[in-house]
Amino acid sequence: MTRVQRFFGALWALTALAGGCGDDQDKASSEAATSGASGAASATATTSGATTAGATTAGEGSTSSTTAETAQGSGSETSGCEGAECPLWPSYPPPSCEDGRACPDPRYTCATDPKSEERVCLVEFEWDLHGCETFMPACPSGYKCIFDLYSSYSMCTPEIEAALDPEAPCSVGLSVYHVEGAPLAGPDDCASGVQCLSDRCVTHCVGEMDEPVCPLPGHYCWQGRIANFCWAPCDPLAPDACAVDEVCVSGSGQAFTCVTDASGEAGHYGDSCEYVNSCDPGLACLSAEYVPGCVGSGCCSPYCSLADPQCPDPKMACIPWFEEEVPVGYEDLGVCGAAP
């Protein structure tokens, strides 16, 4: 169980791990899915929408032969209907409505894709029709279940032909759904059961929501309230814990994982932070009361070794990151914080 826990910010901008679609997508957001373990000191900033900032990039030019007709002829409840009587399923790429072109069906909504800024025809997302569960996906043939980190919807999106394997570099395509005019995350080029997060294909956990299981050896489930993903662990005290432009962050009460470094020019000790990945490697985003002189809701503070504690301010101590049930490999992990 994490001793210093309140992650602060909005899962993947976790501008969040999913592709950061900006203000348009924020309009559709409800509450994000991932939450780390709770802890006694409650020092890291609380996730309320996304877990990390600035993650997947939306790919342009991806193609697929998937059509709305595929879903309608797949044995789903749409079979046997004709034309406008059939529920509307998205195709990929979505029809264009650039330059005033009309959408092929009046039920489409013409909207601007937040990444490419293209005008595309979007299907209105209906949970009872297009919704799914990543643990038990039940999508029509030619579609796969993905989780939208901004809106907290799990939805059936068209499969794109690439079908990349776990850990492969990936991209997110044009939006195909909208909620009240706000585009949702687009399909990606990862295989079924795998989703593009932080620019790489990440495997969905399987099993039950209360007892998720990661099918990949050596990985663990980033535990959330709605969707769980498999991640490889990392050590935040190790200087080479992650690749360039990534940072090792607490993914759940069990372990840490590498995600996109969204700190930019900031992220140094004492800098304000909003997201779990808003600090430079080797630093955590803690609630303001744990960082002397912090201005804002949270500030960056270094991790430390419990065996050799070294903190930048005499008012701070090296607080154990885990209070109990310490995962193997994290017995020496602490973070510099002042008593609130």
Reported as a single tens digit per residue, the pLDDT across 88-123 is 999 999 999 999 999 999 999 999 998 899 999 999
pLDDT for 304 beyond 90: yes
Residue ranges with strand state E in the chain: 109-112, 119-124, 143-147, 154-158, 177-179, 182-183, 194-197, 200-203, 206-207, 212-213, 220-222, 229-231, 233-234, 246-250, 256-260, 283-287, 298-305, 316-320, 333-338
pLDDT digits (tens, 9 = 90+) for 167-182: 899 999 999 999 988 9
Tokens representing 290 are: 């744990």
pLDDT for 47 beyond 80: no
**pLDDT value of residue 1:** 38
pLDDT for 52 beyond 60: no
Report, as an integer, the average pLDDT of 5-24. 37
**pLDDT value of residue 48:** 30
pTM flag (> 0.85): no
pLDDT for 223 beyond 80: no
Q: What's the rounded Cα separation, in Å, for the pair 58 and 54?
A: 12
Q: What's the rounded Cα separation, in Å, for the pair 254 and 238?
A: 17
b/e per residue 210-237 (b: at least 16 CB within 10 A): eebebeeeebbbbbbebbbbbbbbbbbb
The strand pair at 298-305 and 333-338 is best described as antiparallel
Q: Are 318 and 334 in contact (CB under 8 A)?
A: yes
Q: What's the rounded Cα separation, in Å, for the pair 310 and 208?
A: 41
Report, as an integer, the average pLDDT of 188-212. 88
Q: What's the rounded Cα separation, in Å, for the pair 305 and 284?
A: 14
Is pLDDT larger for residue 188 or for residue 10?
A: 188
